[in-house]
Structure 1
Amino acid sequence: MKADIATFVSNCLTCAKVKAKHQKPSGLCQQPKIPEWKWEKITMDFVLGLPRTPSDMVMLKVSPWKGIIHFEKRGKLSPRYIRPFEIIKKICLVAYKLDLPEKLRGIHNTFHVSNLKKCLADENIVIPLEEIQLDDKLHFMKNR
């Protein structure tokens, strides 16, 4: 009977497919190495600190749900970030101390990078809001 079973199994197509010599080796049960250089490029804005810019300016995120001060009424077109602030000091990889104006003195001046956005504006071409004059139809008036 043992010889009959061995003959049947050797002639069976299904049994031949599942034999160990036809299977791929499972290998070691270890996690593969993940190359670090790829993750540095992907996560630069999320995990690492903000990259340094020549002017070291960042925009502060406006959050109506958290914090001490309510900035303005939030709507669809309300700004999500407020004016550029100068970076005074880098506290750690993910925290920066900002130079806040007197109006915002009730807020702690150290922020996590998730609340900041890199300011890409060139300071030489920025016009302060106080210097812009508009007529009654909201047209820009040039100073003469």
Structure 2
Amino acid sequence: MRFGKKGKVSTTYVEPYKIMKRVGKVAYELELPAESAAVHSVFHISLLKKCVGDPASTVPLESMVVKNSLSYEDVPVEILDCQVRKLRNKKFASVKVLWRCQSIEGDT
């Protein structure tokens, strides 16, 4: 069973799952959701990746309003930097924006 799409755009890693127990020296049994019942729950260690949560990249859910379409509107707070760049004979503006639900490190 494949997760998601096939080919070049397929996802390499699916989600973080809890490790239930170690099976042998190089395999682990994972706690998979009910939708993945067709997938065997024991995986070789080379197929797993350590998931380390970064508290700076998490956004508190209380500050977001999620619509029924599972989308949200992010509001710009401040323009941090503005540059005009030249590419051959074209000029374009590059603006760095601080968004409402993100920290300074999350500006785009």
- Larger Cα-atom Rg: 1
The structure richer in strand per residue is: 2
TM-score, structure 1 as length reference: 0.38
The structure where helix makes up a greater share of residues is 1
